[in-house]
Amino acid sequence: MEKEFQTSFMPKKPAVEERVRPERSIGLLTLVSIIVFFVSLLIAGGLYGYKIMLVKNVAGLKSDLDRAKAAFEPSVLNNIQKLEKKINASKEILSNHVLISPVFDILSQTTLKTVRYTKFSYVPAQGKYNILLSGQARSYRSVASQADVLGKDKNISNPIFSNLKLDNLGNVNFDLSFSVDQSILTLQQ
């Protein structure tokens, strides 16, 4: 008798040995590292996108500025610049301008009827103006009265009468000097 071979296409033993792998759990440090890595990638991508957006915005603003510049004619811009220089120069002149009319107002209010002034000049000093006058009065009494009136005025400082002389008609010629504060002589009142 012949031995019978049994042929089966199904192997009885596995052709490859199966290895049993031990289960490996992910450690806490590894998990945190992976999360930080992906968050870093997201942030880097967001920043890159933000940079691209800013570059586009700058380019758009530059083109808007170029269009606005093109809308103005160079001759108009030159005229505007010249006008600005003139306005600034005018402001400078006006801010340093001295008004003498307040001194004349003070003198018109404080001068007695028996006194008249024949010469007027002023000299700027630190924070004030020295006023120099020459005048004529009917008598020494008129000069003394005028000195009292000027001494009481709050805008006049240190009134000094000097060079008192009688003329041929009996009038008293004199020189007068006093100071006024610079603030009453400027336009900025």
CATH, residue 160 = 3.30.1360.100
Looking at the 3D structure of the chain, how many domains does it have?
1
3-class secondary-structure state, position 173: strand
Please give the mean pLDDT across all residues of the chain.
Answer: 85
65 found inside a domain = no
pLDDT tier for residue 175 given thresholds of 50, 70 and 90: very high
Q: In whole angstroms, give the CA distance from residue 135 to residue 123.
A: 18
Handedness of CA 56, 61, 66, 67 (dihedral sign): positive
Q: In whole angstroms, give the CA distance from residue 156 to residue 147.
A: 11
**Containing domain of residue 137, as a range?**
101-185
What is the pLDDT, as a whole number, of residue 67?
A: 84
Beta strands (DSSP E) in the chain are 115-125, 128-137, 157-166, 172-181
145 found inside a domain = yes
Q: In whole angstroms, give the CA distance from residue 107 to residue 50.
A: 74
The pLDDT tens digits of the residues spanning 43-86 come to 999 999 999 999 999 999 999 888 887 777 777 778 888 999 99
pLDDT tier for residue 21 given thresholds of 50, 70 and 90: low
pLDDT over 80 (residue 134): yes
